[in-house]
């Protein structure tokens, strides 16, 4: 039994924030606020609470638990370029990834590093358009590549953290 936690910060983010989908003719809102660890603190805490709930449901038994950060999809990047907030939003993407890694590390949960694997060491290269035709969601081919990164984490059990 493998449990994989996946989710974006959505409503936990202050507004306005960077676009998360492709819009062919974006209505650019005011510049997003700069991102730092504090911006993602609620997201980080929510992920920790999700991991804790999984451990609670498992009644303290070890579990194969994994999560992942996010690759940089071309759709939002196109909107960021059009709205003149590319660098700021790439930094937000890096900060979101860092929050996922911090939350997972605090509970001993391995993270599939999609951002570095698919978007490069600086997290600034977009996933190819043919892998995400709608600008965000992966095709079957791309999903298979994501799955390889996840499988590369192995299947070691994660022990619930000591209280």
Average pLDDT, the chain: 91
Question: Which three-class secondary structure string do you get for 114-153?
Answer: HHHHHHCCCCCCCCCHHHCCCCCCCCHHHHHHHHHHHHCC
Q: How far apart are CA 94 and CA 96, in angstroms?
A: 5
- Per-residue pLDDT tens for 124-147? 899 888 999 999 999 999 999 999
pLDDT of 35-52, one tens digit each?
877 888 989 999 999 999
- Residue that is written with structure tokens 């929050």 in the block: 99
Is pTM beyond 0.85? Reply is: yes
pLDDT by residue (tens digit) across 1-33? 899 999 888 777 765 578 888 999 998 877 777
The pLDDT value given to residue 15:
56
What does the DSSP 8-state code read for residue 30? S
Looking at the chain, the whole-number percentage of residues with pLDDT higher than 70 is 98
């Amino acid at each position: 039994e493998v449990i994989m936690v996946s989710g974006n910060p959505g409503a936990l983010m202050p507004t306005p924030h960077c676009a998360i989908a492709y819009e062919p003719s974006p209505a650019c809102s005011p510049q997003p606020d700069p991102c730092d660890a504090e911006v993602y603190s609620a997201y980080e805490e929510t992920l920790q609470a999700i991991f804790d709930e999984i451990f609670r449901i498992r009644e303290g038994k070890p579990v194969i638990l994994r999560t992942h950060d996010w690759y940089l999809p071309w759709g939002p990047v196109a909107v960021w370029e059009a709205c003149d907030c590319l660098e700021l939003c790439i930094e937000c993407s890096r900060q979101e990834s860092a929050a996922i890694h911090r939350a997972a590390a605090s509970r001993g949960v391995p993270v599939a590093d999609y951002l570095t694997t698919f978007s490069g060491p600086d997290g600034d290269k977009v996933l190819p358009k043919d892998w995400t035709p709608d600008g965000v969601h992966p095709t079957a081919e791309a999903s298979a590549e994501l799955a390889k990164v996840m499988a590369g984490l192995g299947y070691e059990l994660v022990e619930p953290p000591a209280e």
